[in-house]
Amino acid sequence: MSERHLIIGAGPVGRHVAAELAREGRRVTVATRSGSDLAIPGVDAIALDASDPDALSRAAEGVDVLYNCANPRDYTAWETVWPPLASSLLTAAERSGAVYAITSSLYAYGPVDGPMHEQLPDAATDHKGRLRAGMWRDAKRLHDAGRIRAVEVRASDYVGPGIGQNGHISRQLPAASKGKTAWVFGRKDVPHTFTDVQDVARTIVAAAADSGAHGRVWLTPSNPAKTQEDALNDVFRAAGIAPVPVRSMPRALVAAASLVSPLMREINELAYQWRAPYLVDDSAARERFGIEPTPWDDVCRRTAGVTAVTL
């Protein structure tokens, strides 16, 4: 009988993980609160409140791999949403015996000098970075105790289809298509790593399947860093959009907006990511899994199609 895989979350990463597994002929179920059908051949959908440990444990019974691809819709509500959800996922992983595969960001590292790599400590001081670091710390503790099998794959800012307004690049497409200026956070002229969601999916599937890869973090193979201006122009070109001015939002304006807007407050706290080079050394994952990133031209074409995707 083919392996069974349960994916929590049907955002861009969850959808790509489901499609990747379905192509391999795996039995795949995607759980969301609504239970909406993803319309991916071979993929089932169920309605589930994954923060309920008993309900999630029942759904995970007999499952080989449990994927955490959740992404809370409200960026300002992580402290409310993530703790019960993360705890429930750990409980379900322990009860079911499934490999627990976590998709995550680079937030846990905080500001660093030079490229990020897996041997760096989780040293974030902002609340989002500390939260994500704590989620992995809790999973690693249970893994080291022999109570679960866990692995985490981290990625930089997402590009590719389905990202929409949640992506620093894709959110600019609708306005740019009307000839409007593209306003970016931080500097527009420093290199920044972008990661295609397809490559995140390929990496987490490979890491979950490789028992020797468990118990640690892996960084998703990504293309060489691009400045925000260059990345935007590349995607605009792929979308057939005429060039538009790319300008940096004044720091004083962002700081002032953060005083009244909870979302801008969150963004301002993480603004270090856009004010200095934000680079990834993904050599360990490339060597371990034999994965190379999707070619940049293909990434741009995939991202350019995001305006036709409904989240």
Write down the pLDDT at residue 311: 26
- Phi, psi dihedrals of residue 99, rounded to the nearest 5°: -60, 135
Question: 117 and 25, same structural domain?
Answer: yes
DSSP designation for 124: -
| 108 and 23 share one domain | yes
- Say if residue 211 is in the same domain as residue 88: yes
**Distance from the first to the final alpha carbon of the chain:** 33
In a shared domain, residues 58 and 85 = yes
Q: What DSSP character marks residue 106?
A: S
Identify the CATH number of the domain in which residue 283 sits.
Answer: 3.40.50.720
Say if residues 29 and 9 touch (Cβ distance below 8 Å): no
Could you report the per-residue pLDDT of 155-193, keeping only the tens digit for each? Answer: 999 999 999 888 899 999 999 999 999 999 999 999 999
Model confidence, pTM: 0.94
> Which residue ranges of the chain lie beneath pLDDT 70?
1, 306-311
In the numeric block, the tokens 């710390």 are attached to 137
Q: What is the pLDDT of residue 164?
A: 84
Q: What is the pLDDT of residue 309?
A: 35
The predicted structure's pLDDT at residue 230:
97
Alpha helices for the chain (secondary structure H)? 12-23, 53-60, 78-96, 127-144, 173-176, 197-209, 228-238, 251-258, 262-269, 272-275, 283-289, 296-304
Mean pLDDT score across all residues of the chain: 94
151 and 32 belong to one structural domain = yes
- Give the percent of the chain with pLDDT over 90: 86
pLDDT at 258: 87
Q: What stretch of H or E contains 159?
A: strand 157-159
Token pair of 275 as six digits: 């004010």
What's the half-sphere exposure (Cβ side, CA atoms, 13 Å) at 43?
25
The residue behind tokens 């997402």 is: 158
Structural domain span for residue 95: 4-161+194-222+278-293
Predicted confidence at residue 308, as pLDDT, reads 38
